[in-house]
Chain A
């Protein structure tokens, strides 16, 4: 037993050096060659950082495409989901309110065209994407607010749809931050 204890302590110390020290340093070293150098890739406009490439941010203004609802209000220092169960009455009431509010802001839209991702919160509350349907359904509102022809915005949305991986695997999606940056460039 005593012998085992001594061996265990010595082996643990060696493991600390190898699996924390050497392993982390190897990955940290490799990160220096990665985009963003392992510190996180940012998105800049005119030399001003306006967001992180991978992180969703809050868009509530009617002139922008909206992001999905977030249980943590897009707090990137305390991410999380709502953890509401599918049958929870309070939760279902909240979804209904989101639908109603969406219809108020988008009077031209039929209820059946609203995709569920626009009225449900994501897992981390930082979802950078919405579904293509979620972007298209917002076009009429944005066209009206910005006084830009619908066709022009539709074309922008079509261009912004990211295909599944290799065209075959996964979902189609639209990155909201990128889309809104392009939208601001439209005249």
Chain B
């Protein structure tokens, strides 16, 4: 078999093989069960709680969880604004990079606090080392926020009739110290020993063999690259992210980094199985997610390895496939696999330029973000999937004429209303945003000429991609878009903000309300949710919601471009 395909296969199998035991471990961390790392982390966590004045045993109800989450996120946002707008005079700025403008700082702060990592700047010239470090902090704790709130929902799904759902700060600290921190150390060490820089010195300089003088940006990259991959953050150290040879030196590190994208999102599913003691239910969810992931993956790899038909017409050979925006050391298959992994999980790091993908491979990336729950972001990916489960339970209940029940709790009008609003929010933000920007551009193409790097359908795809990426809290881009303007900074900032916090509030509210309800034991008439049939039902709900909402926009963008290229 082709060695490129074998490489993708190896990467995926390794990911699943590691995610299953990691899922058990994550489950134990959530439940406070004994693990082999307790000896190291019990004292560390105690220091965290003591210095912050936290009583980790104080139980909270779902509303208290949300207040705690929103408050601490506000603190992070304000601190981030301050640092980014004052980098020029703050320490750790050897390359004398400037501070950010207010709109760019707003966009960047929202972007990193919301775990999106959309970047309207380029790391080499747009940030000081202090700026990079503070963003790295958000990469840790915004990811931990997602994991922590997912733990709250797990707890709510498990408890029979209660409003006590654990302590938010406890989940937050444990997720950061016991899950993200040790994994980041391992990945960062692998990167450092493969050549990724980790230093605090300014640019280096050398004279090339042909006599050109070359400046080389460097800095504390390895530490950041590790957590950007593991926390589904995606915000790279260098402008071109993991396509940069210093950020992703070789095929081995590419496997490690791609694995790190999907590791925790997949592990969360098995953690659910551990917490609920319902392994079959976890495998059902894993099956649905994997089916969706593989469909997108095959499509992307096939079209990227085919190459660009317009270049084939010129009469040259494409032994690897489509190579614009790709690195020879990865090749089209590993680039397409990364492209799909990073979009289904709301990671958003890239190892090739998505703007230059062939049309239908680009559509795979778009669909991954539009659905946003095939594995999904750390923690929040499951919350999105939870909404689809609730809708599927409700529809199945209606189809067989029973009151819909999920894990022994009745789903009623109030929960359904919340689920519907959250399910509709994502298409609304994406399509409304794309419509407004398309209107502006079509109305006055000269005033907005700097926006689009490509004409025609592809230009439309660039705008569609930007809003999809913002709303999915993904952060990758069709980077040709000239996006560092007040319009894009503010519009995407607002979309990221709404798309981060409403889809957290909704599922937590549903889970909290359900947890308080009376428990109805399973009987012969209960709809079974851990079967293949129910899995197909959930898949159908996802497919119909995504296909119906986004198909017209996809037709105008990638699909039209595909037929235009033939």
Q: For the complex, what is the distance from the CA of A9 to the CA of B73, rounded to whole Å?
A: 10
B329, A74: Cβ atoms closer than 8 Å: no
Known contacts A20-B133, A40-B218, A124-B240, A82 near B319 by CB under 8 Å: no
Once A14-B51, A77-B215, A169-B251 are accepted as A-B contacts, the answer to whether A20 and B134 lie under 8 Å apart by CB is yes
Judge whether A104 is part of the interface by a CB distance below 8 angstroms: no
Q: Are A87 and B223 in contact (CB under 8 A)?
A: no
> Does A79 reach chain B (CB closer than 8 Å)?
yes
A83 within 8 Å of B (CB atoms): yes
Query: Within 8 Å CB of A59, what residues of B?
Result: 209-210
Count how many chain B residues have C-beta atoms less than 8 Å from C-beta atoms of the other chain: 123
The answer to whether A123 touches B169 (Cβ under 8 A) is no
Are B351 and A123 in contact, CB atoms less than 8 angstroms apart? yes
Structural contact, B319 and A77, CB atoms closer than 8 A: no
Question: Are A54 and B355 also in contact (CB < 8 A) when A14-B51, A86-B565, A168-B6 are?
Answer: no
Q: Are B355 and A128 touching (Cβ within 8 A)?
A: no
Query: Does B240 contact A79, Cβ atoms closer than 8 Å?
Result: yes
Q: Is the CB of A58 within 8 A of B71?
A: no
B446 is an interface residue with CB less than 8 A from chain A = no
Shortest C-beta distance, A42 to chain B (Å), equals 7
Assess the A86–B358 pair: CB atoms within 8 A: yes
Q: A89-B455, A171-B331 are in contact. Are A11 and B52 (CB under 8 A)?
A: yes
For A1, A85, A171, which residue has the most chain B Cβ atoms within 10 angstroms? A85
Verify A30–B209 contact, CB threshold 8 A. no
Does B523 sit within 8 A of A, measured CB to CB?
Answer: no
Kindly list chain B residues whose C-beta atoms are within 8 Å of the C-beta of A165: 7, 250-252, 255
Give the contact stretch, choosing among B24-32, B303-311, B499-507: B303-311
Question: What is the minimal beta-carbon distance from A187 to any residue of chain B, in angstroms?
Answer: 18
Residues of B within 8 A of A31 (CB): 192, 198-199, 222
Q: What's the least CB distance linking B225 to chain A, in Å? A: 10
The answer to whether residues A169 and B310 also contact, given A39-B204, A54-B249, A84-B324 and a CB cut-off of 8 A, is no
A163 CB → nearest B CB, Å: 9
Q: How many Å lie between the Cα of A170 and that of B250 in the bound state?
A: 10
Instruction: Output the least CB separation between A168 and chain B (Å).
Output: 6
Q: Is B103 among interface residues, defined by CB-CB distance under 8 A? A: no
Please tell me if the beta carbons of B359 and A50 are within 8 angstroms of each other in the complex: no
Query: Which residues of A80-121 have CB atoms within 8 Å of chain B's CB atoms?
Result: 80-89, 91-92, 95-96, 99, 111-117, 119-121
Decide yes or no: A16 and B137 within 8 Å by CB, A56-B245, A76-B215, A116-B316 being known contacts.
Answer: yes
Q: Is the CB of B185 within 8 A of A123?
A: no
Most buried by B among A38, A123, A129, A134: A123
A5 to chain B, nearest CB (A): 6
A120 — which chain B residues lie within 8 A by C-beta?
311, 323-326
Q: Are B320 and A117 in contact, CB atoms less than 8 angstroms apart?
A: yes
Q: Which of B71, B173, B200, B245 contacts A4 (CB 8 A)?
A: B71
Contact of B251 among A53, A99, A164, A180 (CB under 8 A): A164
Q: Does A138 contact B (CB under 8 A)?
A: no
Contact B355 A171, beta carbon cutoff 8 Å: no
> From A38, which residue of chain B is reached at the shortest CB distance?
B198
Q: What residues of chain B lie closer than 8 Å to A37, measured between beta carbons? A: 199
Q: Which one of A41, A169, A173, A180 lies within 8 Å of B328 (CB-CB)? A: A173
Choose among B75, B125, B169 the residue with the greatest number of A CB atoms under 10 Å from its CB. B75
Q: Chain A 43-62 against B: per-residue CB contact (8 Å), 1 yes, 0 no?
A: 00000111111111111110
Q: Residues of A contacting B209 with CB < 8 Å?
A: 50-51, 57, 59, 64, 177, 180-181, 184
B325 touches A15 (CB 8 A): no
Q: A120-B324, A123-B351, A169-B7 are in contact. Are A84 and B311 (CB under 8 A)?
A: no
Q: Which residues of A contact B317 (CB under 8 A)?
A: 112-116, 133
Q: Which residues of A contact B141 (CB under 8 A)?
A: 15, 19
Contact of A11 among B6, B72, B320 (CB under 8 A): B72
Q: Which residues of A contact B220 (CB under 8 A)?
A: 24, 27-28
The closest CB in chain B to the CB of A114 belongs to B316
Tell me the bound Cα distance from A20 to B227 in angstroms.
12
A4-B71, A8-B72 given; A87·B314 CB < 8 A: no
Give chain A residues whose Cβ lies under 8 Å from the Cβ of B35.
none
Option from B133, B328, B561 in Cβ contact (under 8 Å) with A24: B133
- Nearest chain A CB to B84's CB is how many angstroms away? 15
* B201–A39 touching, CB < 8 Å: yes
Closest CB-CB distance, A46 to chain B, in whole Å?
A: 12
CB-defined contacts of A114 to chain B, threshold 8 Å: 316-317
The CB with the most chain A CB atoms within 10 A, among B125, B172, B220, B314, is that of: B314
Within 8 Å by CB of A125, from B67, B176, B240, B456, lies: B240
Please name the residue on chain A nearest to B10 by beta carbon: A169
CB within 8 Å of B: which A153-187 residues: 164-165, 168-173, 177, 180-181, 184
Q: Which residues of B contact A23 (CB under 8 A)?
A: 140, 181, 184-185, 223
Q: Which residues of B contact A10 (CB under 8 A)?
A: 51-53
With both chains docked as a complex, state the minimum distance between the C-beta of A151 and any C-beta of chain B, in angstroms.
Answer: 23
In the complex, the answer to whether B125 meets A78 with C-beta atoms within 8 Å is yes
B residues 536-566 touching A (CB-CB < 8 Å) = 561, 564-565
Instruction: Specify which chain B residues have a CB less than 8 angstroms from the CB of A79 in the assembled complex.
Output: 124, 217, 238-240, 244
Q: In the bound complex, what is the Cα–Cα distance between A61 and B222 (angstroms)?
A: 34
B331 touches A170 (CB 8 A): yes
Given the known A-B contacts A55-B245, A123-B243, are A50 and B330 also in contact in the complex, defined by CB atoms under 8 Å?
no
Collect the chain B residues with CB atoms within 8 Å of residue A20's CB: 133-134, 136-137
**Can you give 6 contacting A-B residue pairs, CB < 8 Å?**
A5-B71, A9-B75, A81-B356, A116-B320, A123-B351, A181-B209
Ordered nearest first, which 9 A-B pairs have the shortest CB separation? A123-B243, A83-B480, A85-B458, A169-B7, A38-B198, A8-B72, A171-B331, A81-B353, A85-B454
Q: List 20 additional contacts besides A11-B173, A80-B122; criterion CB under 8 Å.
A: A6-B53, A27-B188, A38-B198, A54-B245, A60-B210, A79-B239, A81-B243, A84-B356, A85-B453, A85-B454, A86-B308, A87-B564, A122-B327, A123-B351, A126-B244, A129-B328, A164-B3, A168-B3, A168-B7, A171-B4
